[in-house]
Structure 1
Amino acid sequence: MTDAVDTGNEAIFRISRVFAAPRQRVWDAFTKQDQLAQWSGPKGVTCRFHTFDMRPGGFNHYSMQGEGFPPSYGKSVYPEVEEPSRLVWVNSFADENGNVARAPFADTWPLEMLTTVTFEERGESTLLSLEWVPLNPTEEERATFIAGMSGMTAGWNGSFEGLDAFLAGGQPA
């Protein structure tokens, strides 16, 4: 399920999915470096972690690369890590040294986004809900974020398909 909200002052992107795995298994796939690297990123993209410190106050610096494209770098800074129910991080594009940088695809993409992911038990399954909110965007950045929601949906659905395959014991597509 995807939900895009524009409140006038704030744009919110939400997406959720039920995974056929216990909450701790989904949590581990999201928070353990060796597991996260196997499924994260849109289809056809390889994710590599250069720094991985997922704890309150920690950060990840990573790169994603698709065949025939240069790497794109990102950074996640974690103010909240509440195992196994909630992850909160500030997400940004970065340079190869981990410094916050403009998105390679749009100079008007928000510099930072607050990401909140919750993991809710549903019997033997887990409801994962993700929310992205631009932090202190200009009006132009907010408009670019809203215009990019279909791309965000496609990207997250691709990642979630990879997570489904990973959790089922197969290889992500």
Structure 2
Amino acid sequence: MTDARDAEPTWSLDRETVLSRVFDAPRELVYRAWTDPEHIQRWFSPKGFSCTTHTIDMRVGGMWRFDMFAPDGTRYPNRMTFLQMKAPELLVFDHGDDTDDDPNKFRVTVTFDAQSNGKTVVTLRQLHPSKARRDATVAFGAVEIGNTTMDKLEAHLQALSR
């Protein structure tokens, strides 16, 4: 009989990256910026990158297929498949390259927490398939890239508030 204590532990924290940001905007607006096709296409890419959508279907089971273009013109095909959408508090999707069998795709869980001062805390968790993949993604600059993407969201929300 196998004892559970003999199993090698797999900690999700070893496979996870977490970003969190406070936005000076109501939760409903921040959630809409993430889930409305007209909004997300305007800000979802790192600083200096542009985004071109092929298809976008923002519903559970739907998909967003898009390319990100780096400042040097390098094209990065992307695909998000939406798994959970609970307005205005939760969004869960798989994110990877634009193939059906991407072994490096990762699960993203975004939570939207309203604060008593009208601001919203967004917490984004990326769960990678392995610790090695997470480490490679961090080494590539995923945290910095994620923060510049959040900067673009912040600018987008500020423009909407004017």
TM-score tier, shorter chain, comes to: 0.7 to 0.9
How far did 1:8 drift? Answer: 7.9
How far did 1:157 drift? Answer: 0.6
| Structure 2: gaps of 5 or more residues | 1-9
Call closer, same or farther: CA 1:83–1:146 in 2, change over 3 Å.
same
1:80 aligns to 2:84 (yes or no): yes
Tell me the amino acid that sits aligned with residue 160 of structure 1.
Answer: M
Tell me the amino acid that sits aligned with residue 70 of structure 2.
Answer: G
Tell me how many residue pairs correspond in the alignment: 149
1:130 aligns to 2:120 (yes or no): no
Identity %: 27
Task: Please tell me whether Structure 1 or Structure 2 has the larger radius of gyration of its CA atoms.
Answer: 2
Q: Distance in 2 between matches of 1:70 and 1:100?
A: 21
CA RMSD of aligned residues (A): 2.1
Q: Distance in 2 between matches of 1:37 and 1:164?
A: 14
TM-score (norm 1): 0.78
| Structure 1: gaps of 5 or more residues | 1-5, 103-109
Tell me the amino acid that sits aligned with residue 154 of structure 1.
Answer: E
Q: Give structure 1 regions of 4+ aligned residues with deviation exceeding 4 angstroms.
A: none
Alignment check: 8 A CA contact 1:100 1:111 kept? no
Greater share of helix? 2
Equivalences for residues 1-173 of structure 1 within 5 A:
7=11, 10-94=14-98, 99-100=99-100, 110-123=103-116, 124-135=118-129, 137=130, 142-149=131-138, 151-169=141-159
Alignment check: 8 A CA contact 1:89 1:114 kept? yes
Greater share of strand? 1
